[in-house]
Amino acid sequence: MTKAAVIGAGIGGIAASIRLAVKGFDVTVFEANETFGGKMQEFWLGKYRFDAGPSLFTMPHLVDELFTLAGRNPSDYFTYTRLDPITHYFWADGSHVKAYANGDKFAAEVNQQLGVPEQAVMDALAKSAQLYKGTADTFLHKSLHRLDTYINPDVLKALSCLSDLGLTTTMHQENAKQFSDHRFVQLLDRFATYNGSDPYQAPGTLNIIPHLEHNIGAFYPDGGIYAIAASLVKLAEELGVTFKYNEAVKQILTSGKSVTGLETSQAKYKADVVVSNMDVVPTYRRLLPNQKAPEKTLQQPRSSSALIFYWGIKRTFPELHVHNIFFSQDYKTEFEHIFKHKSISPDPTVYINITSKADPQEAPAGSENWFVMVNVPHNQGQDWEQLTADTRQAVLQKLNKMLKTDIAPLIEEERVLDPILIESKTSSFGGALYGSSSNNRMAAFLRHPNFSNKLKGLYFCGGSVHPGGGIPLCLLSAKIVGELAPAVHHVVNTPKHA
């Protein structure tokens, strides 16, 4: 039977294993850690449950598609609910906006709270939808590094949107051109952080991102974000995929211009296909030491990272929802700190995710589980102990003022995650959450492709390669790998182990 080896049980690796198993491969996933999920872990602090990593879930059809592909009913494995409101935004001047799931209701809210014309808001969401629908089939669902992508009829849709893509302007310039209210511009600019980029450098193309959240919707999976990985692993195992935990891959084995398998901390394994869900930088530096690395690609500027405080808060805040944003007063300076000075602004934007708002069982009665995140630079040897202490104080000062409450005495459980820990736990180079940033107009084309030009049978998926980071794009990277991998004559559509 044709064998496939997947390196890493992150969401991209799990999804790739399912697609390869359905295609007929005998698949083994090798994971250095003791369990699956990559950044998508969960843990408890006392009686508080937390999702350790990703907190926003969009495009759930990409998860459902994997179950359908395997001949399963998605709802038998995985369920979710649409969030409304999606996010509650707060500014230092006291203004705030609830981003309702309904577009008309959201536009009316923005008009009432910020004075932005309703039609202008609707026009912006419509433009984002048009850009997405015109470009996604080419730029997200297919490899950008193969000729057949560009002779596909979908390219015509992309060309029709070319003048609106904002390839020659930044995301911020596009938004500031549409709106004079700096608060609403800031709200739109924040979507650059969804792939770890700077709206003052990233191209206007990224303005397709609001469509995913505002037009398609944001969702909460029953059981938390971790349930996505857990349900997919269950499916993979039913399809006969083997998961080997605590078995780090040491080297990808090659012969001539083809992969032949891999060597782990415990044994050597033969494989006709190898898929790396590991960050592309350590994949080359550690696992392919005898192969010439694509240095231009590996040296692309890295994305931002995150500093996260997990707090068990012994009080409830009715004004907060599942997703909450407390904006900085000077967004441009904040991003200069991250990408230019490699530091953290003394006035950072603070994101708070409270999953107990969706599932009260995730915190004790009368309490809330706060996932408090600040965007920070990736690790380049900064003094993270000092930066963490300073940022914790800045976050508390901001929240105390904006929520009119002394937060520190309410914290009864706490854990911290910084870029050093992110790198050590997930092998994300420098703790960068999304591989390379999108801070130039050619960034999409400079990401590593989903296949090797040098080694037959070697493929790549996950946040550090095309099309990028975040749950939906990691799932799409796995889909591209599944389509690129060679066909297997003996296709398995029924489980080996039910």
Enumerate the domain spans of the chain.
Answer: 3-40+56-81+224-296+439-484, 82-222+302-426
Q: Distance between CA 428 and CA 446 in Å, rounded?
A: 18
Assess whether pLDDT exceeds 90 at residue 155. Answer: no
Among the listed ranges 143-147, 256-260, 381-385, which one has the minimum average pLDDT value? 143-147
Nearest to 192 by CA among 430, 428, 439, 431: 439
Assess whether pLDDT exceeds 90 at residue 196. Answer: yes
Q: Distance between CA 470 and CA 218 in Å, rounded?
A: 13
pLDDT-derived band at 493, boundaries 50, 70, 90:
very low
Q: Distance between CA 152 and CA 59 in Å, rounded?
A: 24
> If you average pLDDT over residues 164-178, what whole number do you get?
84
Q: Distance between CA 145 and CA 147 in Å, rounded?
A: 7
Domain 3-40+56-81+224-296+439-484, classified CATH 3.60.10.10, yes or no: no
Assess whether pLDDT exceeds 70 at residue 157. Answer: no
pLDDT-derived band at 131, boundaries 50, 70, 90:
confident
Contact 67, 58 (CB under 8 A): no
Among the listed ranges 313-317, 471-475, 487-491, which one has the minimum average pLDDT value? 487-491
Dihedral of the alpha carbons of 62, 65, 69, 70, in degrees to the nearest 10? 100
Write out the two tokens for 111: 């008009």
Strand 323-326 versus strand 87-90 pairing type: parallel
**What's the confidence (pLDDT) of residue 132?**
86
The residue ranking higher by pLDDT, 145 or 98, is: 98
Q: Distance between CA 328 and CA 343 in Å, rounded?
A: 15
Q: Distance between CA 190 and CA 413 in Å, rounded?
A: 29
Distances (CA, A) of 236 to 40, 67, 494: 17, 10, 11
Please write the tens of the pLDDT for every residue from 359-413: 999 999 999 999 999 999 999 999 999 999 999 999 999 999 999 999 999 999 9
pLDDT-derived band at 497, boundaries 50, 70, 90:
very low
pLDDT-derived band at 164, boundaries 50, 70, 90:
low
Assess whether pLDDT exceeds 90 at residue 72. Answer: yes
Assess whether pLDDT exceeds 90 at residue 226. Answer: yes
**Full-model pTM:** 0.93
**What's the confidence (pLDDT) of residue 135?**
74
Give the strand order in the sheet containing 249-255: 249-255, 258-264, 268-270
Please write the tens of the pLDDT for every residue from 433-457: 999 888 876 555 578 999 999 999 9
Please list the alpha-helical segments (H only) found in 24-142: 61-69, 103-114, 118-139
**What's the confidence (pLDDT) of residue 492?**
44
Share of the chain above pLDDT 70, in %: 90
Contact 468, 202 (CB under 8 A): no
